[in-house]
Amino acid sequence: MDDGDRETDSTAAERPTALERAIGHAWADDRPWELLTRLTELSHRLGGSGGERRAAEIVRESLEDAGLANVEFDEFPMQYWERGSTEFAVLESGGTSGRSFEAIALPYSPAGDVEGPLVDVGYGTPEEIDEADLQGAIAVASTTTPPGQRFVHRMEKFGHAVAAGAAAFVFGNHVPGQLPPTGALQFDAEAAAPGVGVSAETHDWLAEYADRGSRARLRVDATTRDGSSRNVCGVLGPETDEEVLVLAHYDAHDVGEGALDNGCGIATVVGATPILAAIEADLERRVRIAGVGCEEVGLLGAEALADELDLESVHAIVNVDGAGRHRDLRAFSHGSAALEALANDVTDAFGQPVVPEPDPHPFSDHWPFLRAGVPALQLHSQPPEGGERGRGWGHTAADTRDKVDPRTLREHAILTALLVRELATRDVPRVDEDELREQLREQEYEPGMRAAAIWPDEWR
């Protein structure tokens, strides 16, 4: 071998790999930010609305531009909820309106006109609700949960309150200055009682009025009717029997721009797509990429996708819900030690921090797959140290694009692609249904999931 051959070999060894080139391009890729901008410019993206339909078209265009081939729409039926006006007032002793407060109806709230005593149930835990007399009352619960206890979801609080006899439900933000919160009362059907969200400042007054024994009146105007939504799907990689599913929901609540929840998530997926497309020849399993609709009103797009796919062929799911919001990635491994190890291995190899969250929960798009035994990795973000527990700006009118850092979108897109690349190679055991059920019971999810009507019927 002469000197020229040695120089050629050395040059080849130093040449960047396809993955390295793709990551390099990702640092200058504006597509995630451009998608986020286009989505947040829409009037709103509530599931089943015209805005959500337009968002699906934008997501399709973005995925195709990012290198995903044969991107298609998959339509599915759903119950479309639309808000009208809302009035909420604390009454004077004679039954006349004494003081009005701003409130917003929660999705799937029925229309109704309710008068009753205000009852503050604190955090809205099952124990607090059991101790209260809620028959015919308007129950007031905080958006947060006591420290040291697993997070109690809004639907659980509402379900427990209605089961205890509440005629209406008020969801009070626990963070000052972050406006009235929204969030569905149940999945894909009109709820049993009206429900509204109020700000932390209003919540403080309601707690005092409840302590005084005051009554209140709540009037909600809303409609629920037959509608439809769409998933956006495409595939890349080899034609294998197994596939890795990567999804993010693109819908959002109608009170704000939905930048954090979940504009960041679907933008992260779009940012990961060109990296995966660039290394398509190196993938050992097919990768399906999907933007799903109607997460906020019941995980409906994910349910429709799960019904369509052969779940035995889904090797694992990566649910990008919450990624892109804050600098550090948080990885929910939903009871899978193998996925927790995989996330740690990938982030360690590339010098990036990750916050592990091993416990399962049912309140995002991984759930239709996880309950069927598919290992699920949910990519979220870790709020800054000392940040408030809960959604923060999410589910309020302040969930706007100015809260997002384009650098974080790029970093999380790169990490998402690297995690998917590893999942397409590494074997991960299926989730044992009995173990999953017991993990949820250990966290005391069963009563709340039954109250929210999402505990699987076959789990006795």
What are the structural domains of the chain? 18-79+226-442 (3.40.630.10), 84-222 (3.50.30.30)
Cβ proximity of 331 and 276 under 8 Å: no
d(C-alpha 197, C-alpha 214), whole Å: 19
For the entire predicted model, the pTM comes to 0.94
Taking CA atoms, 311 is separated from 66, 335, 361, 370, 374, in Å, by 26, 18, 19, 10, 7
Consecutive 10-residue runs of the chain (460 residues): their mean pLDDT?
A: 53 80 96 98 98 98 96 98 97 78 98 98 96 98 92 96 98 92 96 97 97 96 98 97 98 97 98 98 97 98 98 98 95 98 96 95 98 98 69 88 96 98 97 97 95 92
Residue type, 442: E
Q: What is the pLDDT of residue 98?
A: 83
Number of Cβ atoms within 10 Å of the Cβ of 241: 10
Nearest Cα to 233, choosing from 183, 287, 288, 301?
288
Nearest Cα to 222, choosing from 254, 180, 200, 261?
254
DSSP H helical ranges for 309-405: 337-349, 367-370
* Helices 18-26 and 264-278, axial angle in degrees (round to 10): 150
Q: What is the pLDDT of residue 1?
A: 47
The two tokens of residue 79 are 């119950």
Nearest Cα to 227, choosing from 292, 308, 300?
300
